[in-house]
Chain A
């Protein structure tokens, strides 16, 4: 295993990949908030994004200025190769753990 990502980091990475070409700050935030039904602050989100960027799992580019944002540009994110890899590794680890602990985790019918 080459790296380690936290739960929130994983969430952000997955959301970015899920949003595809529309993965910018507000969209990521709203998507996570909708799915997880939890309020996240823009500060927390961008801190995480900064860390992911530092670790090389995502990259970003600036979009064109748009009127809704007072003429400010959006910063779009996408996964890098190693970002995709780490997600796979994390998932593999999870699957393995799931397999091991299947019986005990079974939901009551």
Chain B
């Protein structure tokens, strides 16, 4: 139509600059009138314009034209024509119910007609959405950690940065007087200051019922600071030292559903009165482990040594929480209280460590609790970012696929578009048709992925160690997921909708339409992107697993299988020899010992060590464990020099056994017989053992010391079970003897190897999740190229037929069809490999004990990806190559 207009203009102007009605005015007019029939009006206006041209300058004619258009737009004529469909040349509006029904019907027919295509498309998108949903729920759970607390923004914990063993270390343990001092010197900056113990297991008993439960001794303000939701009693329940607040779950265990207020409960050996019951903290909260609360005053009463400490600021065995006053901010308060500790210290060693106190806000507890060189260094937030990015990528992959397939598919429908147009389909209708097809697919995918998420939720929770559920009742969730599906559908449908509906029916029907190189370029870019993402996920997963395996196979320095540990009760300790002999006689155990801490945890570390040749400016901190004579034999440590503790050497009461790292750190040439001073007492080094991995298996072992425990004994009992006996038999023997000698405490024990395995939890979870995401990403990508290659083969059916007739071999046709895809994958790999080499290298850097990045990971990933691609493409290309040319050519 435009070409005709041009010609007319040129004729009218007879060689002058062709003048024509202002196109913009026409555009605006047509846009405004929409579907109303205005052809006659446009014609009238154009006729008048050319008539005017003869009478006046073109510019004036144009101005007049504009005026006409504007007057017409606001005239009754247009209003009326827009209202009345009798002027419109199709009788239904775009969104008339009948039309919507038609769109859906055609969409359904199209999808059913191309089941394979519909399946591939829906499957891919479903997989992507499933991953995205899981990750979104997981990320949401992580970033809303602790959000249940009303005072979330103002709560903080007191941390200290010390220079020990030559490096800056930050941790949350404080002297027990920290809270009091903060209150006295900086009271106006805080609403609450709460001194607290760690969350530790205590023996709770009511009548015959006795269980180990974890809880804190903490100052009474905790009820307000954490806004406890009281079920029974009120928030004043901690004023009296011999009282206790129970969480609902603990109250239920001991008292059922009855109101337990004013009932007595025994905590270890102290009788206390229940003064209230509070609602359990949610799982994603930092206080979830705190299942009961005892008053801090009771802790002080139970531990008279506190008040007798000569240098109370030297020992760090408690923690302190604060709530800022209104208007105070963490940075300012932190800088104010920086020196609070160093001023109180008496010992030169402690002062040398230059402790700086600061407040760590609750909003950072969960995700940003790592410090390096005294500066915040991220933490779990990295995992959140990682998964978030993976989620977005996988979803993007799925959407890309979806668009790719829809577009490729639609090229085959060019003829359909031509016919529809020539029998009067308006462009708007075609656009709506394509959009509704892709939207229907996207919504189907959403429904399926919601179902799958619901079904897989328990498994996911198990792997992720969460208790997530789909927020069925949250409007935002629905808004987001439906909105997202619609967006995907619209985006995926937009290219075919706009591109195809713009065809001239004549061109398409003549058959001169070709997708061409231009049309397939974006698709190629998308394939490269897809494979870049999925191959980097594979490399990432391989490296994560390799690192986990590396740490898991690390020599731990003792034999952790068949070893159990339990809290050492006073009764057990006083009967230690009897119990040990009885257990050994019953053949249930091989050996038993006492220890200051389980072999998987450090409960005690100290600073006041001195030795010949030590740098006086160096402040050290060594984990040290008190053990009984049998410890070495029980855990099975390996002596590399000297000897184990022995009853034949009475002097062993003042002796150390070092681990190899300690021997190296201290720097003795021959450590045996050397003397280490601790709190003014001399200890002789009698042995050196191979390093025992007590803390993180990813970090170097710290220099550690072992000495014999005093008459009060240790904190835990370690039992080496007899491997020749049945486990349940062994355990029941152990339980019987335990009950006989320690009747007032619950029998509760842990397998050391299980406790050790828990150290891998986070990384293992990350590995397993990213492994499944990588698998899905590959699956989605393969679906994508499978679909694309099948269209490619389909489109080139005749070409292949002719080639075969002319003598092409199956192999050459197969090569021709597969080469393109392989090339794209190669490009993707060239992008991925250096990038992932860099990023995974950086990831490994954060582990002290880490594996390397061998070349074969990259080569194998590359080969694997190409192999998968080739196999997927071959499914289609071989089929095409093997087709009898007679079949593909006979139709013409």
A-side residues, CB < 8 A to B, are: 24-26, 29, 41-44, 46-47, 49-51, 54, 62, 67-75
Flag if B71 contacts A50 (CB, 8 Å).
no
Q: Which residues of A contact B177 (CB under 8 A)?
A: none
Smallest beta-carbon distance B248→chain A, Å: 75
Contact of A50 with B80 at beta-carbon distance under 8 Å, contacts A42-B72, A70-B4 already known: yes
Q: How many residues of B contact A (CB 8 A)?
A: 27
Flag if A42 contacts B44 (CB, 8 Å).
yes
Seed contacts A50-B81, A70-B4; 9 additional CB < 8 Å A-B pairs: A42-B41, A42-B72, A43-B73, A47-B76, A47-B77, A51-B76, A70-B5, A72-B39, A74-B40
Contact of A24 with B48 at beta-carbon distance under 8 Å, contacts A43-B68, A50-B80, A68-B8 already known: no
Contact among B43, B67, B77 for A72, CB-based, below 8 A: B43
Q: Which residues of B contact A67 (CB under 8 A)?
A: 4, 8
Flag if A69 contacts B47 (CB, 8 Å).
yes
Inter-chain CA distance A41–B77, complex, in Å, is 12
Inter-chain CA distance A68–B67, complex, in Å, is 21
Contact among B43, B68, B74, B75 for A73, CB-based, below 8 A: B43
Flag if A26 contacts B48 (CB, 8 Å).
yes
Inter-chain CA distance A25–B5, complex, in Å, is 20
Inter-chain CA distance A41–B40, complex, in Å, is 15
A-contact 0/1 string along B14-54, CB 8 Å cutoff: 00000000000000000000000001111111111011000
Summarize B's interface: helix, strand, loop or mixed: helix
Flag if A75 contacts B40 (CB, 8 Å).
yes
Q: Which residues of A contact B74 (CB under 8 A)?
A: 43
Flag if B41 contacts A70 (CB, 8 Å).
no
Listed by A's residue number, 27 A-B pairs whose Cβ atoms lie within 8 Å are A25-B40, A25-B43, A26-B51, A29-B44, A41-B72, A42-B48, A42-B72, A43-B74, A44-B71, A44-B75, A46-B72, A47-B75, A47-B76, A47-B80, A49-B77, A50-B77, A50-B81, A62-B40, A67-B4, A69-B43, A69-B46, A70-B5, A70-B8, A70-B43, A70-B46, A71-B1, A72-B43
Smallest beta-carbon distance A76→chain B, Å: 9
Smallest CB gap from B4: residue in A = A71
Contact among B4, B72, B80 for A54, CB-based, below 8 A: B80
Smallest beta-carbon distance B876→chain A, Å: 47
Smallest CB gap from A71: residue in B = B4
Smallest beta-carbon distance B809→chain A, Å: 55
Contact of A43 with B72 at beta-carbon distance under 8 Å, contacts A73-B39, A74-B40 already known: yes
Q: Which residues of B contact A50 (CB under 8 A)?
A: 76-77, 80-81
Contact of A72 with B40 at beta-carbon distance under 8 Å, contacts A26-B48, A41-B68 already known: yes
Q: Which residues of A contact B77 (CB under 8 A)?
A: 43, 46-47, 49-50
Inter-chain CA distance A71–B47, complex, in Å, is 11
Q: Which residues of A contact B75 (CB under 8 A)?
A: 43-44, 46-47
Inter-chain CA distance A74–B38, complex, in Å, is 10
Flag if B40 contacts A24 (CB, 8 Å).
yes
Among A29, A46, A54, A68, chain B packs the most CB atoms within 10 A around the CB of A46
Q: Which residues of A contact B73 (CB under 8 A)?
A: 43
Inter-chain CA distance A36–B379, complex, in Å, is 87
Inter-chain CA distance A75–B89, complex, in Å, is 14
Smallest CB gap from B6: residue in A = A70
Smallest beta-carbon distance B44→chain A, Å: 4
Q: Which residues of B contact A54 (CB under 8 A)?
A: 80
Inter-chain CA distance A75–B42, complex, in Å, is 11
A-contact 0/1 string along B704-736, CB 8 Å cutoff: 000000000000000000000000000000000
Q: Which residues of B contact A26 (CB under 8 A)?
A: 44, 47-48, 51
Inter-chain CA distance A50–B40, complex, in Å, is 13
Flag if A42 contacts B39 (CB, 8 Å).
no
Inter-chain CA distance A62–B67, complex, in Å, is 25
Inter-chain CA distance A91–B739, complex, in Å, is 122
Smallest beta-carbon distance A64→chain B, Å: 12
Flag if B76 contacts A70 (CB, 8 Å).
no
Flag if A42 contacts B45 (CB, 8 Å).
yes
Inter-chain CA distance A83–B71, complex, in Å, is 27
Smallest beta-carbon distance A45→chain B, Å: 8
Inter-chain CA distance A61–B477, complex, in Å, is 55
Inter-chain CA distance A51–B76, complex, in Å, is 8
Inter-chain CA distance A64–B73, complex, in Å, is 25
Flag if B8 contacts A24 (CB, 8 Å).
no
Smallest CB gap from A28: residue in B = B44
> 8 closest pairs, A vs B, by CB?
A72-B43, A46-B77, A43-B71, A43-B75, A75-B40, A25-B44, A47-B76, A69-B43
Inter-chain CA distance A67–B72, complex, in Å, is 23
Contact among A25, A51, A62 for B41, CB-based, below 8 A: A25
Inter-chain CA distance A67–B7, complex, in Å, is 9
